[in-house]
DNA sequence: TTGCTCCTCACGTCACGTGAGGTGGC
DNA sequence: TTGCTCCTCACGTCACGTGAGGTGGC
């Protein structure tokens, strides 16, 4: 029951600029849950979760906003299928198609994430080697032991 | 003894645009090892390694070109210290300072990399959970076992 | 001479940053 | 009425993309 937040509070909690929030809205990535009669944007908890997801895909995965839009649309479609599941609205063939599509999108993303992790682990191991060689040059034992 | 490459060959091998190579040069991140009398850029193997490093810091770490410049400068300074080590040029106090600085830069970067890896592992685990739930909705057993 | 690669401007784009000038609610 | 937050333009910036028009070497 936190109620809705103004753009300033929302931006501060998310660690993004107000400009970024307005821009995401401008290109259709999020719409604040409400506006005051005076025209001020009001953000819900769910809005904040969505923006956090946008930033995650942006900073961790390096996606641009077009790719993020596609990903969010797929996530929205899966949520819709889940909701329909309760209501038994869709016919089972169509439902299976939607689930299969949601699955392939997620498995593709998983592969991308896995590749990024592997790349970063290589970078980390290179850094460890460089750090070890600096300690050697300094003529000192390495202070941190690194067991497997 | 591969000799030097033209910008087209260099760009193709690196997987970057010619424009990007010219831009990196314009802002002082790389300088091709040579130019032909006619003014054509010639890239060495070492040039390619440096550009690969730029792209790695850009795509895996999300650094901007200013941050990359700082990182590369630190790496260049460490290489200089290493070269001086052979030649015994620098006095040992100055040398220790340079090594200490190189060390702290690398340990900071290591922490950044570690944080990124942790974030991506969280994203991956979330994806695994989502994928498992989709299989449940499809009413099928999960085809891939996931041992620890 | 003909292709092909490469050259330097220079304007366009994406994802915002940064004021400029005006309104809104405690 | 005074502050403070928020509003909508609109121009600037970073890291290039994309032609435009011209040169270079096999």
Smallest CA–CA separation between B70 and chain A, in Å?
A: 16
CA of A78 to C1' of C5 (A): 50
Chosen from B137, B139, B146 to mutate, greatest number of chain A CBs within 10 A:
B137
B41-70 residues touching A, CB cutoff 8 A: 56, 59-62
Residues A27-40 have a mean pLDDT of 95
Partner residue facing A117 (CB), from B85, B120, B137: B120
Write out the E strands in chain A.
Answer: 34-35, 41-42
pLDDT at B48 over 50: yes
For residues B97 and A128, the answer to whether their CB atoms sit within 8 Å is no
C-alpha B16: how far from its chain's center?
14
% of chain A beyond a pLDDT of 70:
89
Characterize the bridge pairing of strands B34-35 and A34-35.
Answer: unpaired
Give pLDDT, residue B2. 66
User: Residue A147: pLDDT band by 50, 70, 90 thresholds?
Assistant: very low
CA of A40 to C1' of C22 (A): 14
Mean of the per-residue pLDDT values of chain B: 91
What is the count of residue pairs from A and B with beta carbons less than 8 Å apart? 87
pLDDT per residue over A80-104, tens digit each? 988 876 676 678 888 899 999 999 9
Chosen from A63, A131, A137 to mutate, greatest number of chain B CBs within 10 A:
A137
Chain A nearest-CA residue for B53: A123
Q: How many residues does chain A have?
A: 148
Give pLDDT, residue B91. 81
Residues A30-46 have a mean pLDDT of 95
- What phi, psi does A25 have (nearest 5°)? -70, -45
Residue A109, exposed/middle/buried by CB under 10 A (0-12, 13-18, 19+)?
buried
Helices of type H across A60-91: 65-87
Give pLDDT, residue B144. 53
Chain B nearest-CA residue for A101: B134
Give pLDDT, residue A8. 97
Give pLDDT, residue A6. 96
Write out the E strands in A2-123.
Answer: 34-35, 41-42
Q: Which residue has the tokens 């991506």?
A: B120
Q: Considering all nucleic acid strands, name the nucleotide whose C1' atom is nearest to the C-alpha of residue B22.
A: D16
Helices of type H across chain A: 7-14, 18-26, 45-59, 65-87, 92-137
Give pLDDT, residue A83. 85
pLDDT at B148 over 70: no
Range of weakest confidence among A109-118, B10-19, B71-80, B83-92: B83-92
pLDDT per residue over B78-113, tens digit each? 999 888 766 766 788 888 999 999 999 999 999 999
Give pLDDT, residue B141. 46
pLDDT at B142 over 50: no
User: Residue A10: pLDDT band by 50, 70, 90 thresholds?
Assistant: very high
pLDDT at B146 over 60: no
Characterize the bridge pairing of strands B34-35 and A41-42.
Answer: unpaired
Which positions of strand D lie within 7 Å of protein CB atoms? Answer: 5-8, 10, 14-18, 23-25
């Amino acid at each position: 029951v936190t109620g809705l937040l103004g753009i300033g509070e929302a931006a501060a909690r998310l660690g993004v600029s107000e400009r970024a929030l307005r821009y995401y809205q401008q290109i259709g990535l999020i719409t604040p849950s409400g506006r005051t009669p005076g025209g001020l944007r009001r953000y819900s908890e769910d809005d904040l979760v969505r923006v956090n997801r946008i930033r995650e895909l942006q900073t961790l995965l390096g996606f641009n906003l077009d790719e993020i839009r596609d990903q969010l649309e797929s996530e929205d479609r899966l949520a819709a299928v889940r909701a329909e599941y309760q209501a038994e609205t869709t016919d089972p063939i169509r439902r299976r198609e939607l689930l299969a599509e949601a699955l392939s999108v997620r498995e593709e993303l998983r592969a991308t994430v896995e590749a990024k992790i592997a790349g970063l682990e290589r970078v980390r191991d290179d850094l460890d080697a460089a750090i070890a060689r600096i300690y050697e040059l300094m003529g000192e034992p390495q202070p941190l032991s690194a067991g497997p």
